[in-house]
A and B are shown apart, each in its own frame.
Chain A
Amino acid sequence: MKAFQQNLTKLEGNDTQVLGVSMDSPFSNFAFAQQNGVTFPILGDWGGPVTRRYGLIQKFDIQGVPMESARRATFLIDKTGKIINEQVDDTAVDPSKTVEACERQKLKG
Chain B
Amino acid sequence: MRRELKTFVCLGLLILISSHILAAQSKSADKKEKPAPAPLTLKVGDTAPDFTLLAFDGKELKKVSLQDYRGKKNVALAFFVFAFTGG
- Which residues of A approach B to under 8 Å, CB–CB? 1, 4, 11, 14-24, 26-32, 34-36, 41-45, 49-51, 53-56, 58, 69-86, 88-89, 92, 95, 98, 102, 105
Contact = CB atoms under 8 A, between A and B. Distances in A.
17 contacts: A4-B76, A14-B74, A19-B75, A21-B80, A23-B82, A26-B54, A29-B56, A30-B55, A35-B86, A36-B87, A70-B79, A74-B79, A75-B48, A79-B70, A80-B70, A81-B70, A82-B46
Given A21-B78, A76-B76, A80-B70, A27 B45 contact: no
Most buried by A among B50, B72, B75, B77: B77
Nearest to A1: B80
A75 B77 contact: yes
Interface residues of B, number: 42
Contacts, number: 171
Given A29-B56, A81-B47, A81-B67, 9 more contacts: A16-B74, A16-B75, A16-B76, A41-B64, A45-B53, A58-B38, A72-B81, A73-B40, A86-B40
Q: Is the interface of A mostly helix, strand, loop or mixed?
A: mixed
Contact of A73 (B49, B50, B72, B79): B79
A15 B81 CA distance: 26
A19 B78 contact: yes
A43 B55 contact: yes
Contact of B75 (A17, A36, A73): A17
B6 interface: no
Contacts of B50: 81
B56 to A, nearest CB: 4
